[in-house]
Structure 1
């Protein structure tokens, strides 16, 4: 049966050639059938895809929908094994067992560790040999890739763009007679709304505002760096970070919006408990259906901006695919990535609420269109703001960022003033950098 299939495909191609076809559709048909013939003639290849990023953001179902099925259709000789990070299946476990994955799915926060473990290939030669058009990518996403790759190299390919927005509980605003948030607000305007919405009502405390502070520190809207790679020094006791800390700490000085060691700093207070009126965070579309089943009436607006950078959102946080230098099948691994960045696959994932990394406006306009629960919602707000420029990265960012996040936590709780927190963050950051530099 397989020989008959090959013969039929070859005959169809020959007939088209004899007819001297000139139309784009016929030419595309020839190329497609050639590709099918080539795929059939190749030896079977098995690749391992390791999910270094949170498997909650890239489930086995996501793998099958966005990777397994489309790759099997395009390249039936390529089989992909899905391995999520977990107990006993960390990267170190796989490497020790001699099972280094071919492809790694990660987030920008994973880059430092992957670089340290020498698990990032330069994809530039593969991009050239496969004639992949980088011009198809969103310019901001491509800038993000270049900023986080060594000079002249491409260390990874962006998979999706993880936007951010200000979500709000419509029922709480209706209950307290306060107008809903609007697109294009500044943090100062949201601060005023927070004052109006933070209150105690019938014995229950309602917070006006909450946020994923670690996320917004990592992808901060002012493009503030954490360390200078040239001097190997922390650079957080600076005017920019003073402005960021000062702006955000004001939310936690408001009565009924203050926090302490017992406060649950998570989106559960917005999604499940419904005691937080506004939540600033990344894409929540994967968890909103459950929250709606629990009674949450929500909508969203664009992420508020700083006075110093009006209309500017977060730095793009693009989950990515990379190829391990030890892979014996780099060409096949890149073919997989090409499929994942095809218009067809990007359209499917965009319609399911994972924004495309392509600049194709037709695809971008279809964001979340297959999610019925977003009907009538302002989902375009998640990507309406201008992306902040990527900060200058360094090997020490993750470690210094952890120190900065911890110090802001102390500021939030009123345990330290901003000047003291930033001075300590820089001192502790320099100590961490020195330890890491010594260990290199």
Structure 2
């Protein structure tokens, strides 16, 4: 029996488009967890060291799977937020520059009982230690709040992307994100801890945003902290290790908010954020959370499930030869089954490495697994009611052909290659060789 692979076959597999990206086992090690940022951003602006020491005192009791008490994390109480008023409701001139409301249109603020124009208000707010509210633009698109595309309506691929959103300070800014499995260091009331199960958020053009998506951190019965996917997911500011928003039901929900926040420079330390930016971030989080709550309520009313749910474990009575599964034992990436041996599976990864994993340490890939690997997810059009985001074809009019999910959107077999090129995706057989092409003996 031999596990040796043919060098030429392996080289051809590794040389195909997209394979170096998240390809090897080592590249699939997981990572993230839970901290706290929106309140924490203010923390860094106000004598970080002393306050963090006080806030880091443990104030939760360790129970089996007990969530870490958010109050025990480095977070400050909410600050005062001053809402803007229209000039016609202001009777006094600006206390700083003396401009009258009639001569200077725009947003005015009343800070400390005195009126300020929008140019002078930020300085007054800093001196008064308050925040200025930024008017809310149209609610941001969420994974489910984008209106469905009418059937047979042709839409350019680039205009139909989910998880594209805007900078709250610049409604015209659009960001498309993707996830990368990685270990993330997060901040808790016990200090920094490494968490392997999570994702770093990258823009589509390859820029690291400085954000991570992490499972909730809970305290086990032994008092040790651990990441628990079933408790939800949060967005983490990697620079400070603190939490920004959440919990969300799954990483894709969190990614929707991460795409909205991505235009900000999150690689800065917490103290570098201005009050205006912090206020805008808070509002973006609130708007997205509210929209997501409405979406969940609608899905519940329509009888739909929410979230990714538990992992799709492999059946014991089905031969998995040539199936693509996710390796939870070693790498966390998608692999091809080249021999089903009952309790163990012999698999090959996209780098051409062949090895064995326990059957119970693998699961069928879901949409998130395909998205992380930038691989088009095949599906049967007879089983899903979808419309091709490029040509407008309806799945009900398509029989005998495979459709694909690419970056969260559905595409028919004819349009999928164009969409794959648009988003730098590969197809499953290009990502990892089909089993009958693997030069394996035994």
Scaled by the length of structure 2, what TM-score is found?
0.21
Greater percentage in strand: 2
TM-score, normalization by structure 1: 0.21
> Which structure features the higher share of helix residues?
1
